[in-house]
Structure 1
């Protein structure tokens, strides 16, 4: 599998993970995220920024605001707190 095909598959897995989260299937979403991360590692690709910031590093679930993650904006940062308790902070302009 080439890098182009792997990148397309990672994008498709991101879509599937988002759909699974919308349906409340968090275990299925977790499986899609883990598979996408493994593909990226195997082919030495970086995950798309939007996908990487929409997943929890601690529990590997795809995050949807209001469903399984709280999003706050504070002093130039976006703070995302997952249901598992993990917190991510990202700067914004």
Structure 2
């Protein structure tokens, strides 16, 4: 794991903690800084980072704090307080294994 990837993970942890405390501006700054680091070092962002940050307002998403999470027709639907919606599929587990 490179230095850039470690820094991105650390910034994402700080952004989640700031969002949990209600400091959304601070969370936004951490997310924007992490995205800039990824661009400069040409490394991709981890899946958890992409799924739990708002593409519109750049805040870390915390279910129950600043995002509403629903499950609809094999998809997870996440709506941020800013109005942005993210949808991604989920795999259902086997109902019964005989």
Fold shared by both chains (TM-score > 0.5)? yes
What is the distance in 1 between the residues matched to 2:20 and 2:79?
A: 18
Shift of 1:80: 0.3
Matched with 1:63 is: 61
- Taking the TM superposition and a 5 Å limit, the aligned residue runs for 1:8-19 are 8-19=6-17
* Structure 1 stretches of 4+ moved >2 Å: none
Shift of 1:51: 1.2
The root-mean-square deviation of aligned C-alpha atoms, in Å, is: 0.9
Matched with 2:28 is: 30
Q: How many residues align?
A: 91
Matched with 1:47 is: 45
Unaligned residue ranges in structure 1 (runs of 5+): none
Matched with 1:76 is: 74
The superposition leaves residues 27-48 of structure 1 with CA deviations (integer Å, 9 ceiling, x where unpaired) of 0000000000010011111111
Shift of 1:25: 0.3
What is the distance in 2 between the residues matched to 1:16 and 1:54?
A: 13
Unaligned residue ranges in structure 2 (runs of 5+): 92-98
Q: Which structure would you say has the larger Rg?
A: 2
Shift of 1:52: 1.0
